[in-house]
Structure 1
Amino acid sequence: MAPPAAHCPDCHHPIRWTRTEAGRNLAVDPDPDPAGNAAVWRDGTGTLRSRRPTDDLPLNGWERLHMPHVATCPAHQEQLALPVGVTRLDDHRRRKNR
């Protein structure tokens, strides 16, 4: 039986917390998504684990692709938008080696 979904503190949508191979926590959307880039599985202790599939280590049969929540969080998307009247200077700076 899967534990109940947690909720994002910013947008309040349901999420699942996973533990990455590096030992960090990663929030993913609770439903599998073929466009996702996080392979999620439950280990022998019941912990949700995640990793990024590569060409050398592709998706295994027991893993499902999920989208990291930071990519779909509406609150995070709003934070990326600049306020009205503010210009992103990177858009106007010349690039070296043009």
Structure 2
Amino acid sequence: MTRHAICADCHRPIIWTITEARKRLAVDPDPDPAGNTAIHRDGTGAWRSRRPTAELPLNGWERLHKPHVATCPARAEQLTLPVGVTSLATHRRKKANPR
């Protein structure tokens, strides 16, 4: 059985992967066909992740997983704004196309 890390916010198991840009990304440990992140273990045993594309589809040794940030219940609670804080997204003007 593989030991997984634990999310500090929701205390669920996660797998820390290294992306193609050498950044760390937490993914849910169970494969999900609706996921958008392909993960596999490299020769050193490290978990690697990438986004499959039309040019580089999912390989046989990779499995699709969801990034944990998309499924973390604690993260969803953090995204709601506190009382008295206004979202500026609705007030921002869109830039005109310079032509």
User: TM-score when scaled to structure 2?
Assistant: 0.86
Distance in 1 (alpha carbons) for counterparts of 2:65 and 2:12:
15
RMSD: 1.7
The Cα offsets for residues 1-30 of structure 1, whole Å up to 9 and x where unpaired, read as x53011001111100111111111111000
Unpaired segments of 5 or more residues in structure 1? none
Give matches, 1:28-39, under 5 Å.
Answer: 28-39=27-38
Deviation, 1:49, is: 0.8
* Equivalence for 1:42: 41
Distance in 1 (alpha carbons) for counterparts of 2:82 and 2:24:
31
Deviation, 1:32, is: 0.4
Give matches, 1:1-98, under 5 Å.
Answer: 3-97=2-96
Number of aligned residues: 97
Unpaired segments of 5 or more residues in structure 2? none
User: TM-score when scaled to structure 1?
Assistant: 0.86
Deviation, 1:40, is: 0.4
Deviation, 1:58, is: 0.5
Distance in 1 (alpha carbons) for counterparts of 2:44 and 2:92:
51
Letter in 2 for 1:39: A
